[in-house]
Structure 1
């Protein structure tokens, strides 16, 4: 270790990360007083850690190693009770009522109360880890140090253990310093991360700043992608394996389309990165199967629609998780499609269109109480053979939507209630799907090469489909 300097605040969940041999475990041992640094000092509550007597240090710091073992067949309760040793006056002291109450509390908190009379060797690895966590909490420490606490645990036990720790930290202002091998788990639970490299501090900051691609490349020597967690504002690191993919194979052809009165389907030979507004498989994901399904009823419950759709997919031999399904009440004969190949990308667009319930989006509130007897839907599928940046998917949607609005304006499609030019139907769907191979496409706005082509084709196909309608 060399020139390592950082500060951990009270109540903070602080993570230490770094590749093998970077000094993580050595640092944890120095912080817990197991080994002394050759140079420099470690302060705990403004007091040098070397000035603490062992028993006083044990009242303040608890340590949970990677794998805690016991040489005796202690029961769960006896093992947890060992955590009270630092608070006893001598080795032969009996547990007090206060000790028993604290042991009961931590057993309840770690969900181990029902196991208290079982011996340690009767427990699974995850249950053992919870017992040793309870033992550490029974010490009533101000700081707990953990060396890869989730190592060898399955997903459920990893989450359970860290949720328990995080909860105790929030409720009792416990300070947690933990070594992590898994960068994504460290990001999810830690307030700050210290990234070590060859015994030195590379960076110490909030997880979203530490896990930047440049830091991972410099320290771990590998390129990663990073994405925001879908539920919380935390960065997640993703490895991308090397893949061999033919750049010459034409992936989008009309042969992959199937037309019936019930549906239009498209099967891609490879999964496509997709962003869509569909109610079935919508949002973002990777899909090979795309279905535009005719729905005769004006409105059915979403549960009923999902059930019927799964039955359709089963008939087609398609797993629901592999498909995106859009819905339309427009006769599927009212469709238009076009395919374009350029030196930078290939584009395949399929449109079905109807405007029986076209509305002006700027006056949408006027339709809130309206009884809908007819439904018109403009569904637009855009398949791109190219590698789009994430934001380019959104730009493609914006461009296609602008082109749709222009087509409705030129065709003089009006909102029947407000008598103003309509901008679309409330049930319209749009889908962008890309191969993510070949040339990187930085943008799909209306003046870019890809965006201009999307705008031109969508505008033309919507007009063509509406004329059929």
Structure 2
């Protein structure tokens, strides 16, 4: 629908800002133009909108040169929403929006028809500006003005919507409301969108395709996964960038890291922890945030945490809402939920095993409770028909090392292997199959790292960190199960 062929342009023929860009935007696409200040985004936008003349190349609309369209023809096809919020005359909101219907009005008087008014009301309703329709435009806030101008653009019923950083004056709520609305019109009306967006994460969520502009040229044109190329983004924006995945939408999201001087305080591993325990909770507090990987009831996934809690519950505990229960228990203890990993067990907390060791300069600490009343062989496809009981092998492992996210996953695998080895050597059986158990039905684990020292992506069985994890987990789980067995007086399993 829109084609840019070897486009060259700018404010001076001697020094063009845009230097030979090629681009094709299909009908119904949402296309985002990205780049830092000075990259040429606004210049390219003005070339596309016709505010600047082309020095070289072609700009085609539906296969025809844009210059061949009359102003009225262009107005019927293209609506433009810029950052400029000033209006020369003292119009009301309704009068501003009525200007969007001008290209469709017929006759000399250009009066509003019934259809015009219906469309105006529709766009005022969907943009949430109906309440302001009789107000003077100049008296509105920046965000309200932007929504009025969007309504005016939509009132044109354009085939193409050109947006120049349309959310600059909007808060988070109205930013997403506006872009959700534009996406809906894109899908339901086949609207083609060409937008300059400065927020890379927003662009990732909404754009079907995007282009990265650098020094007047496209470095790359592609889908949102283009934003996973960290080195390229760092080159363009001169900022340390880490690309990750959105937890709900299959799109990348970017984290920017300030270039701070490397003056990180190296702190003592032993002095970093405070340990509190009663018959209801084991609480390990870290004074410094730790990078953690966990499958706890709360705090699951890979996050930063400072509080690690293992709560005791009775064997007949109702499992309807464990997340809510742990949040309430944390609140009672004045422990911030958002900084916590929380797990639960029916094992007596007095049977906890705390195991510390330094292996070739790396400090480790394990805090483990274990019972095997609901032991399971995961390879056995038969499920236990009785109600699930509360678990049993809960592992907290703290390590003075620096791992990547991939290294954290490596570490979790190493810890799991060591746990399975302990169950094997202790001959813990699945009561359903009679085979050696691999765990229990409700195991929980957290590995937490100080992120001090040299970063490594490896924590498997061939590494010192992996071996250390394996050793502490094996020894800790073994001792915890032995304490559990001694308490309940079992001698055959």
Q: Is the 8 A contact 1:252 1:348 kept in 2?
A: no
Which is worse superposed, 239-248 or 44-53? 239-248
Aligned length: 466
Offset, 1:348: 1.7
CA separation of 1:243/1:311 partners in 2, compared to 1, >3 Å: closer, same or farther?
Answer: farther
Specify the alignment match of 1:454 in structure 2.
469
Q: Deviations over 1:427-462 (max 9, x none)?
A: 110111112232112212222221122112211111
Specify the alignment match of 1:223 in structure 2.
240
Structure 2: distance between partners of 1:48 and 1:106: 30
Task: State yes or no: 1:181 paired with 2:204.
Answer: no
Task: Give the secondary-structure state (helix, strand or coil) at the position aligned to 2:431.
Answer: coil
Specify the alignment match of 2:181 in structure 1.
164
CA separation of 1:255/1:101 partners in 2, compared to 1, >3 Å: closer, same or farther?
Answer: closer
Q: Is the 8 A contact 1:247 1:437 kept in 2?
A: no
Specify the alignment match of 2:111 in structure 1.
94
Offset, 1:179: 0.6
Offset, 1:166: 1.0
Specify the alignment match of 1:17 in structure 2.
34
Structure 1: distance between partners of 2:430 and 2:464: 33
Q: Please point out which of 409, 421, 424 is paired with 1:409.
A: 424
| Structure of higher RCO (CA pairs closer than 8 Å, 6+ residues apart) | 1
Task: State yes or no: 1:201 paired with 2:218.
Answer: yes
Structure 2: distance between partners of 1:192 and 1:343: 50
Offset, 1:375: 4.2
Specify the alignment match of 1:267 in structure 2.
285
What are the within-5 Å matches in structure 2 for residues 232-381 of structure 1?
232-241=249-258, 242=260, 244=262, 246=264, 248-252=266-270, 256-303=274-321, 305-306=322-323, 308-342=325-359, 345-363=362-380, 365-367=382-384, 369-371=385-387, 375-381=390-396
Offset, 1:319: 1.6
Q: Deviations over 1:301-360 (max 9, x none)?
A: 443x44553454344332222211111110112222222334564322211111111122
Offset, 1:253: 5.2
Structure 2: distance between partners of 1:191 and 1:254: 47
Q: Is the 8 A contact 1:344 1:439 kept in 2?
A: no
Offset, 1:408: 0.8
Q: Deviations over 1:25-79 (max 9, x none)?
A: 1111110111111111101111111111111111111100113222333222221
Structure 1: distance between partners of 2:360 and 2:79: 63
Q: Is the 8 A contact 1:194 1:204 kept in 2?
A: yes
Specify the alignment match of 2:414 in structure 1.
399
Q: Is the 8 A contact 2:359 2:468 kept in 1?
A: no
Offset, 1:274: 1.5
Task: State yes or no: 1:48 paired with 2:65.
Answer: yes
CA separation of 1:91/1:443 partners in 2, compared to 1, >3 Å: closer, same or farther?
Answer: farther
Which is worse superposed, 39-48 or 281-290? 281-290
Structure 1: distance between partners of 2:253 and 2:96: 36
Task: State yes or no: 1:135 paired with 2:146.
Answer: no
Could you list the runs of 5+ residues in structure 1 that have no partner in the other structure? none
Structure 2: distance between partners of 1:224 and 1:254: 29
> What is the TM-score of this pair, normalised by structure 1?
0.94
Q: Deviations over 1:245-278 (max 9, x none)?
A: 6564223459622232221111111111222111
Structure 1: distance between partners of 2:155 and 2:454: 58
Specify the alignment match of 1:443 in structure 2.
458
Structure 2: distance between partners of 1:422 and 1:408: 7
Which is worse superposed, 190-199 or 374-383? 374-383
Which is worse superposed, 422-431 or 313-322? 313-322
Offset, 1:296: 2.1
Q: Is the 8 A contact 2:227 2:243 kept in 1?
A: no
> What is the TM-score of this pair, normalised by structure 2?
0.89
Offset, 1:198: 1.2
Q: Is the 8 A contact 2:82 2:164 kept in 1?
A: yes
Which is worse superposed, 179-188 or 105-114? 105-114
Q: Please point out which of 208, 212, 217 is paired with 2:229.
A: 212
Which is worse superposed, 348-357 or 201-210? 201-210
Q: Is the 8 A contact 1:3 1:201 kept in 2?
A: no
Could you list the runs of 5+ residues in structure 2 that have no partner in the other structure? 1-17, 485-493
Which is worse superposed, 254-263 or 272-281? 254-263
Specify the alignment match of 1:385 in structure 2.
400
What are the within-5 Å matches in structure 2 for residues 70-149 of structure 1?
70-89=87-106, 92-149=109-166
CA separation of 1:135/1:318 partners in 2, compared to 1, >3 Å: closer, same or farther?
Answer: same
CA separation of 1:277/1:312 partners in 2, compared to 1, >3 Å: closer, same or farther?
Answer: same
Q: Is the 8 A contact 2:146 2:169 kept in 1?
A: no
Task: Give the secondary-structure state (helix, strand or coil) at the position aligned to 2:303.
Answer: strand
Offset, 1:409: 1.1
